[in-house]
Structure 1
């Protein structure tokens, strides 16, 4: 795949996917050849993930900042999982780029985010990068987890 330029201009205060190609992304004109997690503001995290199978609910809840909420002492009677507290700055949606092929995460992996009112969308990594830029430019609270490697 040739180098695809997504953004000629970028706002230096926002994390913007500026280009991509086979096996890499450029974010703010810096090249990344490993899986990354980014939001419009804050650090770009590199992750040692190679496939959707490497993603679990613990990782996703940590990335979005969900924390265990105070629990009612009688909650054990409901046989429900403990509630998670959503921070005020939590993303509205998490985009998961699954590599060169679209793959879906198992329902139990994304359930904590959905229960907290956070949408989860899985698509190819390049589609997720483009979608991230659009949502970020609309000032939406978005988090992108972009994988390189196998998607299954």
Structure 2
């Protein structure tokens, strides 16, 4: 399905999708990908919604290299802080159907104030385009339909 007739070459925009591909800036991808409005389109090393882990969510949110204070447990009031460049929300396109993610998978992002929403790939692509066009800090990870079925 064609989403937009025009795309802003400065921003990553989902321009189409189908059962075995996602098109970003008029380039087709047949494997899972994740990306933000600016920057590279990254391959995502997840093949089904069941493969999504807390670590894979931290990776797409850019938190995989975040340093953890080993003494933070001593401060009862210590609340994890969201890095300044972190996304507001991470959208997960789980294929043809929505697959909700277990709380132990999303907790790492939610605890630092990053929203996580899982929905069908079709819905995630549309939602991403809307949030991106509003200037929101959003990251989307999309599983093509065949791989997520």
TM-score (norm 2): 0.88
- 1:111 and 1:20, CA in 2 relative to 1: closer, same or farther beyond 3 A? same
SS in 1 for 2:55: helix
Structure 1 residue 40 corresponds to structure 2 residue 27: no
SS in 2 for 1:132: helix
Q: Which has the higher strand share?
A: 1
Aligned to 1:150: 148
Aligned to 1:137: 133
The answer on whether the counterparts of 2:82 and 2:114 sit within 8 Å (CA) in structure 1 is no
In structure 2, C-alpha distance between the alignment counterparts of 1:48 and 1:61, rounded to whole Å: 13
The answer on whether the counterparts of 1:71 and 1:83 sit within 8 Å (CA) in structure 2 is no
Aligned to 1:7: 4
In structure 1, C-alpha distance between the alignment counterparts of 2:44 and 2:62, rounded to whole Å: 16
**Higher alpha-carbon deviation: 52-61 or 36-45:** 52-61
**What is the deviation of 1:150?**
2.6
Query: C-alpha offsets along residues 52-90 of structure 1, whole Å, 9 cap, x if unaligned?
Result: 1211111211221221332436x2696xxx965532111
Instruction: State the Cα RMSD in Å.
Output: 1.9
TM-score (norm 1): 0.86
- What is the aligned counterpart of 2:109 among 110, 113, 124? 113
5+ residue gaps, structure 1 = none
**What is the deviation of 1:47?**
1.9
- 1:58 and 1:48, CA in 2 relative to 1: closer, same or farther beyond 3 A? closer
Q: Give aligned pairs, total.
A: 144
Q: Which runs of 4+ in 1 moved over 6 A?
A: none
5+ residue gaps, structure 2 = none
SS in 1 for 2:16: strand
